[in-house]
Amino acid sequence: MKKNILIFKFPFQSCYGGGERHLISLVNELQQINFNFYLVTSCNVLVEQFNKRNWPVKKIWSAPEPVAKWSIILFPLLGLPMFLILVYFLFYYRLAKNVKGVYCISLTEKILITLPARMLGLKVFWSEHVGFQRWLTLNPLRIFYRFYSRYAKIIVVSQALKEQLIKLGVNASNIHIIYNGFDFSYYQSLLKKPKTQTKNQFVIGSIGRLEKEKGVDCLFMAVKKALTIVPKLNLIIVGEGSERKRLEWLSKNLQIDRLTQFVGFQKEPAAWIRNFDIFVLPSVGRESFGNVLVEALALERPAIASRIEGTPEIIKTDQTGILVQPGNSDELAQAIIYLYQNPDTAKQLGLNGRAFVEQNFPKERMVASYFQLFQNI
């Protein structure tokens, strides 16, 4: 008999990123084994994705996730009605659907329903995919996070996140590292396809939400500096976000707009990565793991990434790529130039990277780890 798990997710903003892709992949795999999932959320993106697959989903109103100044101020006022709504759904799914576990993704439900869920006899799991920066370390609600964490099993996607939680006072025995897993047969099929011809251009690519923490402005400055050595450079930016207009202005201001392409959000980013000569992840914050780094290495692309949070667990300098200091455009420019001038080394980094990620981040290992945790509900 399958076991039933209730998923809560009430994010500060709705977007289709690594966390959402991970959740969809996880639910898809575990439903084929021994579990049923029910999603209650305010996230339009996940509602669309679950409806597309005919998975059970309920969209409800939610108080803003208390991770910004204004939403933290409003939380004492909106927290009570939100609490009552969540308790109602806990009772409903406990009685009507016989759920045995609750999987919490956002801060809101972790604070509000962990204790009621435990009182109803449910096992509680917290998922953490984002680094613990000001949104939690300076958040007055962190005392509740720390207190309720003792009643949950916390799943993190990197050793870096586990260490951050321990510094916040969370019991290490409650923290479980489960790296994101990938279906590498998909990337192997892409490798068999010929690359798009680029007329001897040296193509640099970056993929991610166009937000300040992604450091795309640093990449622009590095590209400007590298142009004297890499004259036939072409830069492709995949993704959307609130920073797009400013970044388009910056590319014009730096006079690199003619060689820069903004291609927006792409449902199949790996198809773009296949045509890059090098991949760059210039993040300056919030890079707890770096799914797109794994994708780049799976496609044998030499990668440059900021040395931040979980990226050193994927990029090993001089083995699977190059790490640079976050926000250091000089260092990033030198790394770009080095890979341009040393194509054999760049190729070997790509080959090493593929071998590393296929060994360490297979989907089967991730699914088995979640199965082991959820099986005990």
107 against 267, higher pLDDT: 107
Q: What pLDDT score does 195 carry?
A: 79
pTM for this structure?
0.91
- In whole numbers, what is the pLDDT of the chain averaged over residues? 95
Q: What pLDDT is stored for residue 15 in this prediction?
A: 80
Asked if the model's pLDDT at residue 322 lies above 90, the reply is: yes
Mean pLDDT value across residues 359-377? 95
39 and 82 assigned to the same domain: yes
Percent helix, strand, coil in the chain, to 5, is: 50, 20, 35
- Could you tell me which residues come within 8 angstroms of residue 352 by beta carbon, excluding any fewer than 6 positions away? 319, 320
183: its two tokens: 């279906």
Its domain, for residue 237, covers: 184-360
Sequence-distant (≥ 6) Cβ neighbours of residue 121 within 8 angstroms = 94
Give yes or no: residues 248 and 152 share one domain: no
Same domain, 234 and 144: no
Same domain, 366 and 355: no
Which tens digits make up the pLDDT trace of 162-200? Answer: 999 999 999 999 999 999 999 999 999 999 888 776 678
What's the CA angle centered on 61, arms 56 and 62, to 5 degrees? 105
For residue 223, give the nearest of 232, 233, 237 by alpha carbon: 233
The pLDDT assigned to 34 comes to 87
Q: What's the whole-number mean pLDDT along residues 224-248?
A: 95
Residues 88 and 175 in one domain: yes
pLDDT tens per residue across span 116-152: 999 999 999 999 998 888 888 899 999 999 999 999 9
Q: What percent of the chain has pLDDT over 70?
A: 99
Q: Is the pLDDT of residue 245 over 70?
A: yes
Q: How confident is the model at residue 358 (pLDDT cuts 50, 70, 90)?
A: very high
Clarify whether residues 143 and 40 are in a common domain. yes
Task: Give the helix/strand (H/E) hosting 136.
Answer: helix 134-137
Taking the CA atoms of 347, 350, 352 and 355 in sequence, report the sign of the dihedral they define.
Answer: negative
Residues 171, 200: one domain? Answer: no
Q: Which of 107, 117, 218, 187 is nearest to 355 (CA)?
A: 187
261 and 319 together in one domain: yes
pLDDT for res 140: 95
Q: Please tell me the total number of residues recorded for the chain in this structure.
A: 377
145 and 197 inside one domain: no
Q: Are residues 60 and 131 in the same domain?
A: yes
In this structure, the answer to whether residues 163 and 284 fall within a common structural domain is no
CATH number at residue 27: 3.40.50.2000
Alpha-carbon distance 7 to 41, whole Å? Answer: 8
pLDDT at residue number 197? 64
Say yes or no: 305 and 162 in one domain: no
- When divided into structural domains, the chain yields a total of 2
- Overall average pLDDT of the 349-377 stretch: 96
